[in-house]
Amino acid sequence: MHAARSPSPSAAAVGLLVTLLAATAPAAPDAAPAPDRPHIIVILADDLGWDDVSFHGNDQIPTPNIDALAYHGIILNNHYTLPLCTPSRSALMTGKYPMRTGMQHNVILAPEPWGLPLEERLLPQRLRDLGYATHAVGKWHLGFFRREYTPIFRGFHSHFGYWNGHQDYYSHNVQASFAPFEGYDMRRNMSVATDAVGKYTTRLFTEEAVDRIRRHDARQPLFLYLAHLAVHAANYEVPLQAPAEAVARFAHIADPERRLYAAMVHELDLSVGAVLQALQERGMLQHSTVLFLSDNGAPTRGIHANRGSNWPFKGVKATPWEGGVRTPACIWSASLRAKHRVSNQMLHITDWLPTFYGLAGGNVSSLGRVDGVDVWRALDEAAPSPRREVLINLDDVSAYAALRLGNFKYVNGTSLLGFLDEWHARPEGPADPAYDVGAVLASPAARALRGALAAGAGAGPLDPHVVRVLREAARVQCAGPDPKAPRCRPRKRPCLFDVARDPCEERNLYTPQLGALFETRLAQLRAEAVAPRNKRGDKRADPARWGGVWSPWADGVHE
């Protein structure tokens, strides 16, 4: 079945299949005082591939908690991000395409003195202005060379986590990617959190998020930004790391690296379950909107490769192909009406800023020039997406530009000289894969969501049959290459694909006539672009000068 051509099961049809299982739901906790606006919970995975969640059809690594969230809510199967961490996170935080803020090229490398421009008002600042308590747990990667760039100066009431792009899952040391520098990177606000040493990062962040929820005064709306390290690779020597008991669950995976990777995904999945459970225990879940997404595709190959899979898409992290930018994503909210469905509405990571701002009671028209669109109504009503185009990216340093207009995607040039522009086979699975719907419906996430429903929120709980229907509808399959179609050589000539029919970008349709529309639009967008802010690494950043800790070196203050 072809995802784009197959009709998503309509809310009504699926609704018929939904049976009330309320009797099996745990009793709702004493209702917490309801805030006047929803709690907003964003769980951002790092470098998680399209096929690394089992709701997309992968039988090798079960993700029952993430799947439960997806099936109870909306599977966002047409959700785009930027191809790399820093650009994607800048877009989430500002609602703007990175080419407007100078964040379009590459990531912030550890010793580089730049960050997301201070004149930008970020999502946490905007929600804080509307009365939200704003807490960040996990990765930042939007600059720390001066303290003003770090989370608690950018609108978060608190932050527990790290400022760089990755770290060791136990020592929390960061080796710079291209410099001989290494240092510790775990902070509680501005203090060095030395008590974290030796504890697995994913679990630390989960405990912190759960603790934040438990201590939160539920009368105040909460914005919780949980940005996991998982499933990014750690430092070069030991890139894949997971607790032994998690690894032991995946004995059926022969490839030892993929087995480790599966355990990393499993720990991420447990985190989603624990967060939903904590929200439910506090009586907050029925007043929450929960978004789960990945910042970009998996780096199956290339720098910081993990063993993630973007199958069946072309390309990996850092590339403009669907495998780099079309990410697993789902959203659940008690108040969303058209739930239990697969959405092919075109969405972009910039959309969450206006969407959440509107949900929080803000005046979206007052946001000024943002690229994001408030998509809440379209999600709520299963109406066509108000978004007609997605600028995949415009990066004149890497020398590529990619734009989606309607169902068509245009790519001129490519990243990394085309070195990563390939399809990867699906990792070989166990001999007899069987998807365990029972485990999905018995997961902590499913129990928590049923509890929230029993407390009076939204549509009924899920039937196993609905789960199977949704999983089938969420699967993307491709026809395979067409030997008659002209090859795509994007460094010689632009390429064009109908990604609704050809999500694997195998049938190049480019002609100068068809390309002209895209080239005109790209020229308009390029006229609005600012120069990339990237700066060369600075020797003064070396943690050896700062007590072994990555610190805001340009401030010249020893923390």
Ligand X SMILES: *[C@@H]1O[C@H](CO)[C@@H](O)[C@H](O)[C@H]1NC(C)=O
Q: Of 328 and 413, which CB lies nearer to ligand X in the complex structure?
A: 413
What φ, ψ does residue 148 adopt, rounded to 5°?
-60, -20
**Helix ranges, 193-305 (H):** 201-215, 244-248, 256-281
- Of 39, 72, 85, 495, which is the active-site residue? 85
Where are any strands of DSSP class E within 54-150? Answer: 74-76, 79-80, 133-139
Cβ at position 522, least distance to ligand X in Å = 7
Cβ at position 115, least distance to ligand X in Å = 18
Q: Which spans of this chain sit near ligand X (rule: CB under 6 A)?
A: 152, 157-158, 189, 363, 365-366, 399, 412-413, 494, 515, 519
Q: Of 87 and 299, which CB lies nearer to ligand X in the complex structure?
A: 87
Q: Of 327 and 355, which CB lies nearer to ligand X in the complex structure?
A: 355
Half-sphere exposure of residue 24, counting CA atoms within 13 Å on the CB side? Answer: 12
Cβ at position 283, least distance to ligand X in Å = 23
Cβ at position 46, least distance to ligand X in Å = 23
* 548 vs 559: CA distance, rounded Å: 11
Complete DSSP assignment for 161-204:
EESSS---TTT-EEE-SSSS-EEE--EETTEE-GGGTTS-HHHH
Where are any strands of DSSP class E within 5-94? Answer: 39-45, 74-76, 79-80
Q: What six digits make up the tokens of 448?
A: 């928590």
Q: What six digits make up the tokens of 98?
A: 């990175």
Active site residue 504: no
* 195 vs 403: CA distance, rounded Å: 46
Cβ at position 400, least distance to ligand X in Å = 7
Cβ at position 510, least distance to ligand X in Å = 9
Q: Of 10 and 511, which CB lies nearer to ligand X in the complex structure?
A: 511
Q: Of 156 and 332, which CB lies nearer to ligand X in the complex structure?
A: 156
Task: Give, for 412, the enclosing helix (H) or strand (E).
Answer: strand 408-413
Q: Of 183 and 494, which CB lies nearer to ligand X in the complex structure?
A: 494
Active site residue 478: no
Distance of CA 275 to the CA centre of its chain: 16
* 502 vs 4: CA distance, rounded Å: 8
* 320 vs 314: CA distance, rounded Å: 9
| Active site (catalytic) residues | 85, 141
